[in-house]
Amino acid sequence: MTTIAVLADPPREGFVLPELPETSPLSASEATELYAAMLKDTFLAAANSGGELLVNYRPDDQIPDEYEGAGSSEEELRALAEEALDDVSDVRFEVQVGETFSGRAGNTATHLLEEEGVTSVAIVDGTAPMLTRKEIDSAAMKLRRSEVVLGPADDGRLYYLGATGTIDFDDVYTVPELETATHRAVDAGHDVDYLPSMTSVVTGEDLRSLIPLLNARIAAERIVPVNTASYLHELGVRVEERDGERKLVR
C-alpha cells in the first residue's frame, strides 16, 4: 500500500498560488479558494484509492507573520479534509520537517520508507486536480516494477514523485524537476517509470490548459475533480481567442 503524502499549505490569501493572480483574471482570494478546491479533490482521490492519505502540513513557525491565519495550519487543513471526506478517522495529519520543499519531501519520504517501513510513498502538492484515484492506483502498480515513478507536469515540473527506495532528495525539486528527480533515481540504481503528463496549476498559463480539459470532460459526461470544476464554473473563467491569442477571460 502506498502512503500518499500531500505536502499542503493552509489556504491563506497571498501565501498559496502567489503567481496566479498576477497571470490570470483571478484575484488573490479566488486563487486561494481554487487552491483549497484542488486540495480537497486531492484528498478525495487519495482517500478513495488503495493507498493511505497523509496530510503533511507546514508548521506555523515556518509561515511568515503576514500570512497568519485564524487557526493553526493543522486546524485549517483538518477542516478542509473534513469538508472533502465523509470520514477523516483514517487520515494521518503530520507536521512537515525541513526548510525547503525538497527538504520537506525528502524527510517525509525517508522517514516513511526507513523508519516506518512502508512499502511505497508518493509525494504530491495538491495542485494537479486531474490526479484521480485511477492514476494513484496506476502509479501504485508501476511502483511494484520500478523503484521510482514520476508524474510530469508542464515546464519540466512534477506533480507526483513515488518511490519504494530512497534517493538523494537534497534539492531534488531543482528546475527542471523531472530531469533532476530522474537523475537522482538513476544515480541510486533505481528503475524509473512515468505517469501521463498532467497540468499542475501554478500560473495563468496552467489554468488556461486545465479549463478546456475540464469543460470537455463535463460535456462528455466523464469524471472530473468536482470541487475544482465546480469552483471554476462558478467563477465563469473560460478560454477564448482574443487578437489571435488564447486567453483566459471572465
214 in a domain, yes or no? no
232 in a domain, yes or no? no
175 in a domain, yes or no? yes
Say what the pLDDT of residue 80 is.
Answer: 97
CATH number at residue 63: 3.90.550.10
Domain that holds residue 41: 2-198
243 in a domain, yes or no? no
103 in a domain, yes or no? yes
For the chain, the three-class secondary structure string (H helix, E strand, C coil) is CEEEEEEECCCCCCCCCCCHHHHCCCCHHHHHHHHHHHHHHHHHHHHHCCCEEEEEECCHHHCCHHHCCCCCHHHHHHHHHHHHCCCCCCCEEEECCCCCHHHHHHHHHHHHHHHCCCCEEEEECCCCCCCCHHHHHHHHHHCCCCCEEEEECHHHCEEEEEECCCCCCCCCCCCCHHHHHHHHHHHCCCCEEECCCCCCCCCHHHHHHHHHHHHHHHHCCCCCCHHHHHHHHHHCCEEEEECCEEEEEC
The segments of the chain whose pLDDT lies below 50 read none
72 in a domain, yes or no? yes
Say what the pLDDT of residue 53 is.
Answer: 98
Say what the pLDDT of residue 1 is.
Answer: 86
For the entire predicted model, the pTM comes to 0.96
Say what the pLDDT of residue 56 is.
Answer: 97
Task: Specify the number of domains making up the chain.
Answer: 1
248 in a domain, yes or no? no
32 in a domain, yes or no? yes
